[in-house]
Amino acid sequence: MRDSSRLTRRAVLGLTAAALPVAAATPASAATAIGGERLARDGIQTSGATGLPKKLTARSWLVADHKTGEVLASYRAHQRLAPASTLKMLFADTVLGKFERTRTYRVTDADLADVPSGSSMVGVKPGITYTVHQLWQGVFLRSGNDAVHVLSHMNGGIAKTVAEMQAKAEDLQALDTHVVSPDGFDHPGQVSSAYDLTLFARHGLHDDDFGAYCSTRTANFPAGGKKTFQIQNTDRLLTGTYGLRPYKGMIGVKNGYTSHAGNTFTGAATRDGRTLLVTVMHPANGGNEVYKETEALLDWGFGKGSSARAVGTLVEPLSEGGASASPTPSGGAKGAPGATGAAASSSDATSPWRLLEGAAGTVVLLAGGAFALRRRRVAVAAAAKAEENQGS
């Protein structure tokens, strides 16, 4: 476990800087046709219903029926963008079933040594013993990167967990997703899409524990000895904070924010026996905007969207009998406009980020990054200046 931690700090936190020129110089990829050809198109996709909210500013969004998997409306569903903490849904899809809720674990300094500076934290401390249940509360309620890293070390280390998450994404046919860290923190090349995040939420909500955690509003978290402190879910549509009211029927799922990703959110709500999923990525403004646009899309889905005909579908996991969908870019799809350098990296299996899964690959990545740094310095500087975009 200690060796895995050392490899992770070098491979994920150190070598990403060396590889940054490679990612920054890669052009934006065309959208995939997973889930239907219309989802790869630019522009709003809807059929058979009117009245979509007029003032949506998100760079990508999607509305889907949880039960049927039908996509009722979307906008740039496959655009690859930084996911922030919404990627923790994939972390939960991958790791949640591995440990009994009652299992205890005493946290060490090494478990927290590779938590990125500036991370959201729940307050995990070395020397304190936690149950797995408490650690998952820290992940879901407070989006604690410290809790994610402890669970990842319990799972064999950061690199192993990242590799398993990538494999899980591929099983779910979430082919827009590139995993670099388990917590969703900003790293070059770490991207997902509104389509993929909705897949993660739908799959997760089939698990009772996942559903229970994402719908929990408050919990008491260990502070050492017999002391505890209360933590509250950061999903504002669930708790009704920062000037928002709780959304009727809200059951989760996960919000995220980083300075690079801006605001991201996947939410699920149930009314009259029908559950809808909405993902909103990168609205123009911060604060409550991601929740307001999610609320508007949910209102549409439960209202005028009830008559909408599917413009695509959320595909089933390969391991559960889902038909393999072609990742070939659609002929009519345009590249993702406005994609940053980090969001532009290819999802091809030969991506340099896959090299993080082994020590040998780490050496290759370092060499490649150094070579690119020498050869592409001017090109990267120009690309970075042109693509600089607040909140992206």
Active site annotation includes 85: yes
- 108 with 126: CB under 8 angstroms? yes
Catalytic residue among 29, 60, 85, 152: 85
| Residue 306 CA: distances (Å) to CA of 46, 52, 56, 61, 65 | 12, 12, 19, 18, 10
Catalytic residue among 4, 29, 88, 392: 88
Q: Which tokens belong to 225? A: 């000895």
CA gap 232, 227 in Å, rounded:
17
Active site annotation includes 143: yes
Q: Which tokens belong to 205? A: 């909500």
CB neighbours of residue 57 within 10 Å: 14
Active site annotation includes 347: no
Catalytic residue among 120, 143, 345, 347: 143
DSSP labels for 278-321? EEEE--SS-TTHHHHHHHHHHHHHHTGGGGPPPSEE-PPPGGGT
What is the identity of the amino acid at 225? G
SS3 53: coil
What is the set of active-site residues?
Answer: 85, 88, 143
